[in-house]
Structure 1
Amino acid sequence: MQDQYRTVARPGAHETEVNRSRFRCALAPAATEREAQEFVAAVRKEHADASHNCWAYVVGADASVQKASDDGEPGGTAGLPMLQMLLRRDMRYVVAVVTRYYGGVKLGAGGLIRAYGGAVGEALDAVGTRTRRRFRLATVTVDHQRAGKLQNELRATGHAVRDVRYAEAVTIEIGLPDADLPAFRSWLADATAGTAGFEVGAEAYGDA
């Protein structure tokens, strides 16, 4: 797994004008290829009267799925530069749709490449991005008497508490970088006089 990746902070759009043509870039997070395709379809429906609705998306922390479409623009002048901009910015799990309303002035291949790639770059700046880092899910099991104090200590030491479940014992789910696991085990043993259980689970990504 990649140690980290970037994605858009939220769905959003940004519009720019190049030689009287309007270029509106809509961005959204996309956890799966299907989500990306559904977003493309929704934007195409909303802007069915546009000259073109070109798109690109990257799914997977390792960018394993990359697709793009020129939607009628000359080959390689729209979808590809959009995709290249996403990859240049290290964006993952993201979909971009650039809607063009033709303004009557031809831009040429170079102009189109700059316009479509630039529309994505400007939209990323306007909408904002966030970094998500790889961590290991871990669960701490502790008795009810120690649970409240331990949760406070976890938060005070910068450990993000992801979930707390109450049963016969209290189970606290946290996220830890792999490199921190040995030190955390020692800290936990000291904090709970060796009474807490500790299990390491799967890898996941979370906000940095």
Structure 2
Amino acid sequence: MSENYLTIKSSGSHELEIKKSRFICSVQRVAKKEDADAFIASVQQDNPKANHNCFAYMVGKHDEIQRESDDGEPSGTAGVPILEVLKRMKLHDTVAVVTRYFGGTKLGAGGLIRAYSSSTSRAIENVGLVQKVLQQDIVLNVSYPNYEKLNYHLEQQQIQVIDTAYGSDVTVTIAVDLNAVEQVQTSIMNLLSGQVTIKTGDKHYHEIDVPVYPDAAD
């Protein structure tokens, strides 16, 4: 996983009915394996009469933790299709559980693969996606005469201002995408002819909504 990555926007679920079988996919964002396992257990507990609770998840900075389960369905027809949707959509730190209530008609291997894949895709479309962008706080200390010029520049460049403190000088804290820190610092230094003190602060993630395209999910 790179410094910026995709994940689901929120937790949620979506139900799909195929030949009277109910496929209910529940998805959640997780930070570690224990979170994923706890979510799976909670879905199983909420659906004690379900025939199957199949799942898959990818967790870790480099997706080093990947797990899937068919939970009694024919091998390779449930857990793997769920996992493949997560991989195809390049989602990280995400767990998906598809609960099946059997409707009396067997779907066959191909039908099961399509059902579990589609159920997962629809649930992800339902909750939406975000890109997690790693940002760094930059603390700028300027004189009052230079503050107006700086503030106008930040507005024009659509740079997020987190805080402004007024004292003997003005201290402005901004949040900048990590890959743009050097460029932003240089532009501000040039703008104010070096009459600014610049310090770097904490790093944190900012979430940006990303459209979900059905072709990417199917």
Range class of TM-score, shorter chain:
0.7 to 0.9
Name 2:86's counterpart in structure 1. 86
**1:4–1:143: structure 2 CA closer, same or farther, 3 Å change rule?**
closer
Any residues of structure 2 matched to 1:111-190 within 5 Å, and which?
Answer: 111-133=111-133, 135-142=134-141, 145=144, 150=150, 153-161=153-161, 163-164=162-163, 170=171, 172-178=173-179, 180-190=180-190
- SS of the aligned residue for 1:181 comes to helix
Pick which of 182-191 and 109-118 moved more.
182-191
Give the Cα–Cα distance (whole angstroms) in 1 for the partners of residues 58 and 196 of structure 2. Answer: 41
CA shift digits 1:108-134 (9 cap, x unpaired):
22221111111101111222212223x
Give the Cα–Cα distance (whole angstroms) in 1 for the partners of residues 147 and 38 of structure 2. Answer: 44
Give the Cα–Cα distance (whole angstroms) in 2 for the partners of residues 71 and 147 of structure 1. Answer: 62
Task: Name structure 1 gaps, 5 residues minimum.
Answer: none
Q: TM-score scaled by structure 2? A: 0.79
Give the Cα–Cα distance (whole angstroms) in 2 for the partners of residues 144 and 40 of structure 1. Answer: 55
Give the Cα–Cα distance (whole angstroms) in 2 for the partners of residues 74 and 38 of structure 1. Answer: 24
Residue type at the aligned position of 1:71: D
Name 2:37's counterpart in structure 1. 37
How much identity, in percent, do the aligned residues show? 34
- SS of the aligned residue for 1:194 comes to coil
Shift, 1:50, TM fit? 0.9
CA contact (8 A) 1:22 1:100 kept: yes
Give the Cα–Cα distance (whole angstroms) in 2 for the partners of residues 60 and 8 of structure 1. Answer: 15
Shift, 1:186, TM fit? 2.3
**1:132–1:193: structure 2 CA closer, same or farther, 3 Å change rule?**
same
Name 2:21's counterpart in structure 1. 21
CA shift digits 1:164-205 (9 cap, x unpaired):
385977361412242x33331222224445343323467654
CA contact (8 A) 1:147 1:170 kept: no
Name 2:11's counterpart in structure 1. 11
CA contact (8 A) 2:139 2:201 kept: no
**1:103–1:152: structure 2 CA closer, same or farther, 3 Å change rule?**
farther
Shift, 1:91, TM fit? 1.0
**1:139–1:182: structure 2 CA closer, same or farther, 3 Å change rule?**
closer
Count of residues paired in the alignment: 205
Q: TM-score scaled by structure 1? A: 0.83
